[in-house]
Amino acid sequence: MEHDQIKAFTDIVKYGSISAAASNTYTSQSYLSHKLLTLEQELNATLITRGKGIRKIELTTHGIEFLRLVNQYHATWNEMLQIGKSQDRMHLSVGAVHGINAYTFRDIYRDYVMKHPEMRLNIYTYHSRDLYEKVASRENDLAYIYNAINYTDIIVTPVFKEQFCLISKADSPYYDGIMPNELSAKDEIYIRYNKEYEIWHDQFWSGNHYVVRISSTNSAAYLMDDKNRWAIANISTAKILEKQYAIKINTLGNQPPFLTCYLIEHKIPLASRIEAIEIFKKQIYEYIRQLEDIEII
């Protein structure tokens, strides 16, 4: 088994098809197809389902298992490369979605670095699906997300939950206890959180009738150039924005489901990171116990 065979397989999985992988890696489709075929022959197993009408690759059972082993191999290889480097310091890689990194955990990271000078902390911001892949490959030791997904080799643990609220310009006509059906979709700055929230949201504002859809709550503050504009945000983020911008917070008469933050971690963490992982997790719990708008699960 050769490295370029494994790389061809992982590139095809990453980009979703042989043609897309060839385009993004500046190789030919025939080259990737040949490497995949020789790899399957050597393993005596079919890794990817082939057939007419299949635009995006589908992994077989063997393919899923092989990908898991490849991810473990890469993580172990990277760990071996770190031997002898900065042996006097522990390393930890933490990922989170933007809202958690930028708002909820923004003080945690600062305090953690101050309390643990022996630690080399790496912080990453990705979308939820990317974070699952990063943890699965052990590129990230821990990650905090808003979506619970069944994923091979990953433990998903609810950590805390918080309510949503309405945010708008300080001079908006909105008030505490306002009902969703009193809010016009044409004035909405739509922020996506998770499937539970979307189900609730679409009861009142279905279809693409919003002003704009964004992935970062911070952007909402810049887009509220009209007193009728509004957005729904989690309370911890909203309170930080309230201090920074001329916006106000109102309660909703019909509340969305609580927004739950989940911790995801690999079932078999890197041995060299276990102590650092436990220290960080303990500090997270100590910190969120002090936040009045967040409820530990």
For 137-188, write each residue's pLDDT tens digit: 888 999 999 999 888 889 999 999 999 999 999 999 999 999 999 999 999 9
Question: 102, 74 in Cβ contact below 8 A?
Answer: no
At 210 the pLDDT is 92
Determine the angle formed by the axes of helices 3-15 and 61-81, rounding to 10 degrees.
120
Which one is predicted more confidently, 182 or 55? Answer: 182
pLDDT at 88 over 60: no
At 249 the pLDDT is 96
Smallest CA-to-CA distance from 225 within 207, 211, 243, 206 is with: 211
- In tens, the pLDDT along 99-121 reads 899 888 888 888 888 888 888 88
Q: What average pLDDT score do residues 270-293 get?
A: 88
CB neighbour class for 227 (10 Å; exposed up to 12, middle 13-18, buried from 19):
middle
DSSP-derived 3-state class of residue 187: helix
Give the rounded percent of residues in the chain with a pLDDT score beyond 90: 43
User: What DSSP state is assigned to residue 178?
Assistant: B
At 103 the pLDDT is 86
Task: Tell me which long-range contacts 109-115 makes (C-beta under 8 A, separation of at least 24).
Answer: 111/283, 111/287, 112/280, 112/283, 115/283
Angle at 29 between CA 24 and CA 35, to 5 degrees: 105
Which one is predicted more confidently, 50 or 131? Answer: 131
- In tens, the pLDDT along 218-275 reads 788 889 889 999 999 999 899 988 988 889 999 999 999 999 999 999 998 988 889 8
Helix (H) or strand (E) holding 222: helix 217-223
At 137 the pLDDT is 87
d(CA 223, CA 58): 40
Q: What average pLDDT score do residues 34-57 get?
A: 83
Tell me the residue type at 244. Answer: Q
At 206 the pLDDT is 81
pLDDT at 202 over 90: yes
d(CA 216, CA 198): 16
At 156 the pLDDT is 96
Of the candidate ranges 19-33, 79-93, 272-286, the one whose mean pLDDT is the lowest: 79-93
DSSP-derived 3-state class of residue 13: helix
| Mean pLDDT, all residues of the chain | 88
**Residues sharing a CB contact under 8 Å with residue 111, sequence separation 6 or more, in sequence order:** 283, 287
- Residue 18 banded pLDDT, cuts 50, 70, 90: confident
- In tens, the pLDDT along 72-86 reads 777 777 666 665 555
Smallest CA-to-CA distance from 75 within 1, 139, 9 is with: 139
